[in-house]
Each structure stands twice: as structure tokens, then as C-alpha cells.
Structure 1
Amino acid sequence: MAHRRFFWDFFGPHAEPTAAHFVRHLDEFLARNALTGCSTGTLSAGPGHHAAYCDAPADVGAAIERALRPRRSEPAPENADPSD
């Protein structure tokens, strides 16, 4: 099943801890709503930017989009290592 990667972007000097904090809430949302097959984490596109992300299967992605309104999404990379 195809996965999508959803992003919530944060900018500025507090972007990294804000993105990490958002991931905690994202994990709670997934557990509370029994949404399975997802993986979450953070990544950075450069200084002053961090993003929280969620890789989700298509059937879960619709619920995430409706409830959490991510800023952007793209096809999730296969066998992606989020630490890259």
C-alpha cells in the first residue's frame, strides 16, 4: 500500500524543539484514534527549519489530513532513513 509523508513545518530559533514537541502530540493522536501503520519523526531542510512528519498508509492519511491539516505532503520514500 502506498504511503504519504505529511509535514508540519516550523521556523526560527525554536523550530527543533517545537517540531519534537509536535511529534509527541502526533503520536498521541495516532494512538488515541487507533491509526496504525504510521511512523513519525523530525527532519531539517537547513538552519532555522525543522519539520515534524508522519508516514502514513493511504487509508490513515485521509484522517490525518482532515484532523491535523498538514502544510504539505509527498509520497513517502521507500525504506527511508529519517536521519538522512
Structure 2
Amino acid sequence: MPKIQIPKSIPTCTSNERKFEKVYFWPGFGREAKPKTTAMPEERKIKLIWDFRGPDAESTAAHHAIHLQEFVNTSQLTMNVVGSEKISEAHVIAFLVVTDSEMRPVRDALKPHRGQLYEE
């Protein structure tokens, strides 16, 4: 555990008829602190998922993915990742990947069954 540093006291000074009592300087802040240049963190990507089950699941999910692609084109979303994925013989998903900021309006408009973080 790091040791807590007690602030150094700067002596009282008078200038332009202003009296400064005690000014404390915490190490790492003030004039010694260098501006941090950090890149903006990349926005999370969320995969919205629609589940289809049964003997016609594959064709239904592929058809749903076509409509998802049309939605992406009309609403001008930043990401264009749409598709379908076969999980098993009787379970296929259609998915759409959106950014975190776009997730709520898209979710409310399309009502997916579930969602998860998208990993490329």
C-alpha cells in the first residue's frame, strides 16, 4: 500500500495587496503535472441477436438478416456487420452489430431476443 504524502506548505506571501494565507501543494497536481494525452477509448460493439429454431430456422434467419441489412442501410448506422450463424441443426441466429451509443434506439426499434458484446 502506498504511503500517504503530506502536502508541502508554501510560505505566506503578499502581492498586489492580496494576502495568501497557506497554499498547499499536492505532488502530481498544479504546475508540475504534465498534461496526459490519452486516446479516446474505442466504443464497445454489441451484437444484437434474434434466435430461430426448428426445421426452417436457417432460411428464416437468412431472410431476417436481409431485413436487418435494409435497416442498416436506411438508418445509416456506423457499423455494417449483419449476418446469420448456424448454432446447431435446429438453432440458427440472425445478428446485427451496433456501437454502444446506437444500441438503445436500435434495440427499441427492432426488439432483439438478446445481446452480447461483439468480439471480432
TM over 0.5: yes
Amino acid at match of 2:83: G
**TM-align CA RMSD:** 1.0
Native 8 Å contact 1:38 1:57 kept in 2: no
1:10-21 mapped onto 2 (5 Å cutoff):
10-21=52-63
Is 1:30 the counterpart of 2:75? The answer is no
Whole-angstrom distance in 1 between the partners of 2:55 and 2:78: 33
Alignment partner of 2:79: what SS?
coil
1:1-84 mapped onto 2 (5 Å cutoff):
1-77=43-119, 79=120
- If each structure's helix is expressed as a fraction of its own residues, which one has the higher value? 1
Unpaired runs of 5+ residues, structure 2, are 1-42
Which runs of 4 or more aligned residues in structure 1 lie more than 2 Å from their structure 2 counterparts after TM superposition?
none
Higher radius of gyration, 1 or 2: 2
Unpaired runs of 5+ residues, structure 1, are 80-84
Higher relative contact order (CA 8 A, sep 6+): 1
- Scaled by the length of structure 2, the TM-score of the pair is 0.62
